[in-house]
């Protein structure tokens, strides 16, 4: 939709030019005695300029890709030239129409559509040398305006894509700066305090044992020391993840899963489809890394699993993530009443226009499926560089055991 909005102002301008010419045509039809037929032709042509000018941002894709509408616009454009035959306004209307077609239909299709306009102008003037030259000039102007509209559309679309990429880069830099600030604050406050508490509680347990305290008291002190040390390790791990400015999916997801396995002792198998890093953009890659991290942490805290499988794959320009475990599973109402972790996963998927589905795993435990559609202005199968967002659909992941992914761990 971004690229459709990019050409919206020019589309409206050209449609307004056509409406102005049609207004003059209406006056000419009234004055030269054409009467109701001429008025009817103008009224027939007006909606094909008024409606796109009114709602191009919401319906522009339909106008640009619907063959029936394009064919009707060709017929109506030629019909609209009839009351203007022999008038300079005919060349203006034909040029604006050709530029409009080139803008949203591309050069080849625009030239094909402009052929009837050129032929009409070649035959509309008086059979004289001057009329012949004027007709050729009008046809040439129509052809040039088709090319001009196409080039203008390409530049506007490219500028829109660059603007979106710049905005995404600035957002990424802002996120990194905020993460670094949080990492510094945690390091200077919580991490430092936990490090001091870890030494203190360890020394307390040793002192109680040396002084012959009751075994139960020493055991409580040991448990307290172990808990503080675990909190310190988790804080250090969180600091490392906050400072992580990795790019892509394959390497970062593999590394964070390996670190999680080292920390928990639970084996985790990672599968990433070959070419995923080339397909998935930086924004969704960050979301995928954060989603996998949060899902693994939820498994560590609640699942009591003995094995975990992480699958990242693509379906066209869309990304799909599947994380399964063989743990105790989740109650049916957990996705609706969960805390900040699972809520954050849903929010990240929603930001990308995607879905999250919690379901029982085939062998017990839980399977979480996350679908993230294409980022705005990723290449789609459209002519002349037109791109759009891939339509939202229900996630449907391929089976990881079918050999369609490249194993990385």
Q: 276 and 129: one domain? A: no
For residue 161, what pLDDT is reported?
82
Mean pLDDT over each residue of the chain, to the nearest integer: 80
Given a cut of 50, whether residue 403 has pLDDT beyond it is no
Cβ neighbours, 10 Å, residue 407:
12
For residue 340, what pLDDT is reported?
62
Q: 12 and 123: one domain? A: yes
Domain boundary among 132, 163, 194: 163
Q: 141 and 265: one domain? A: no
For residue 146, what pLDDT is reported?
92
Q: 320-373, pLDDT tens digit by residue?
A: 999 999 988 776 655 544 566 678 888 888 888 888 998 888 878 899 999 988
Name the residue range of residue 260's domain: 247-409
Q: 138 and 256: one domain? A: no
Relative orientation angle of helices 129-186 and 215-242, to the nearest 10 degrees: 160
Domain boundary among 130, 163, 196: 163
Q: Which of 6-15, 119-128, 171-180 has the lowest mean pLDDT?
A: 171-180
**Three-class secondary structure of residue 314 per DSSP:** strand
Q: 14 and 156: one domain? A: yes
Q: 271 and 375: one domain? A: yes
Cβ neighbours, 10 Å, residue 329:
19
Residue 177: inside a domain: no
Residue 222: inside a domain: no
Cβ 343 vs Cβ 302: under 8 Å: no
Q: 157 and 284: one domain? A: no
For residue 244, what pLDDT is reported?
62
Cβ neighbours, 10 Å, residue 126:
11
- The arithmetic mean of pLDDT across residues 50-64, rounded, is 80
Residue 225: inside a domain: no
Residue 72: inside a domain: yes
d(CA 69, CA 71): 5
For residue 283, what pLDDT is reported?
75
For residue 8, what pLDDT is reported?
85
For residue 1, what pLDDT is reported?
61
Side-chain half-sphere of 67: how many Cα atoms within 13 Å?
2
Q: 203-253, pLDDT tens digit by residue?
A: 988 888 888 888 889 899 899 988 888 888 778 777 766 766 567 888 889
**Three-class secondary structure of residue 393 per DSSP:** coil
Number of domains, the chain: 2
Residue 191: inside a domain: no
Residue 389: inside a domain: yes
Residue 284: inside a domain: yes
Q: 155 and 281: one domain? A: no
Domain boundary among 163, 185, 202: 163
Long-range contacts made by residues 125-130, C-beta under 8 angstroms, separation at least 24? 125/85, 125/86, 126/86
Domain harbouring 382, CATH code: 3.30.565.10
- The arithmetic mean of pLDDT across residues 391-395, rounded, is 37
Q: 135 and 259: one domain? A: no
For residue 369, what pLDDT is reported?
92
Q: 25 and 119: one domain? A: yes
For residue 239, what pLDDT is reported?
76
- DSSP per residue, 346-373: HHHHHHTT-EEEEEE-TTSSEEEEEEE-
Q: 281 and 155: one domain? A: no
Q: 23 and 159: one domain? A: yes
- What's the predicted TM-score (pTM) here? 0.55
Residue 133: inside a domain: yes
């Amino acid at each position: 939709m971004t690229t459709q909005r990019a050409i919206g102002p020019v589309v409206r301008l050209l449609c307004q030019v056509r409406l102005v010419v049609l207004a003059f045509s209406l006056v000419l039809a009234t004055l030269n005695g054409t009467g109701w037929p001429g008025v009817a032709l103008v009224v027939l042509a007006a909606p094909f300029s008024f409606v796109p000018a009114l709602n191009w941002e919401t319906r522009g894709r339909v106008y640009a890709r619907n063959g029936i509408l394009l064919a009707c616009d060709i017929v109506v454009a030629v019909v609209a030239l009839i009351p203007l035959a022999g008038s300079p306004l005919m060349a203006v209307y034909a040029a604006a129409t050709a530029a409009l077609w080139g803008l949203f239909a591309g050069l080849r299709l625009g030239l094909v559509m402009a052929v009837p306009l050129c032929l009409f102008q070649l035959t509309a003037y008086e059979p004289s040398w001057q009329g012949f030259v004027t007709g050729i000039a009008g046809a040439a102007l129509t052809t040039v305006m088709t090319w001009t509209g196409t080039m203008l559309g390409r530049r506007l679309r490219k500028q829109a894509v660059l603007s979106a990429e710049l905005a995404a880069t600035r957002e990424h830099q802002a996120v990194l700066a905020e993460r670094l600030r949080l990492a510094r604050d945690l390091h200077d406050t919580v991490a430092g305090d936990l490090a001091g508490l870890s030494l203190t509680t360890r020394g307390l347990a040793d002192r109680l044992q040396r002084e012959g305290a009751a075994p139960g008291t020493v055991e409580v002190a040991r448990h307290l020391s172990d808990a503080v040390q675990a909190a310190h390790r988790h804080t250090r791990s969180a600091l490392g993840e906050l400072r992580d400015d990795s790019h892509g999916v394959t390497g970062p997801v593999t590394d964070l899963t390996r670190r999680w396995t080292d920390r928990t002792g639970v084996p985790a198998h990672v599968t990433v489809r070959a070419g995923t890093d080339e397909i998935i953009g930086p924004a969704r890659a960050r979301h995928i890394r954060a989603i996998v991290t949060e899902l693994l942490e939820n498994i560590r805290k609640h699942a009591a699993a003995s094995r975990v499988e992480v699958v990242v794959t693509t379906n066209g320009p869309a990304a799909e993530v599947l994380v399964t475990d063989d743990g105790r599973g989740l109650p049916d109402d957990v996705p609706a009443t969960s805390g900040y972790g699972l809520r954050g996963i849903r929010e990240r998927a929603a930001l990308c226009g995607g879905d999250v589905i919690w379901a029982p795993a085939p062998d017990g435990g839980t399977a979480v499926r996350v679908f993230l559609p294409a980022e705005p202005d990723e290449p789609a199968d459209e002519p002349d560089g037109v791109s759009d967002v891939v339509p939202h659909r229900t996630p449907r992941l391929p089976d990881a055991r079918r050999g369609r992914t490249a194993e990385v761990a």
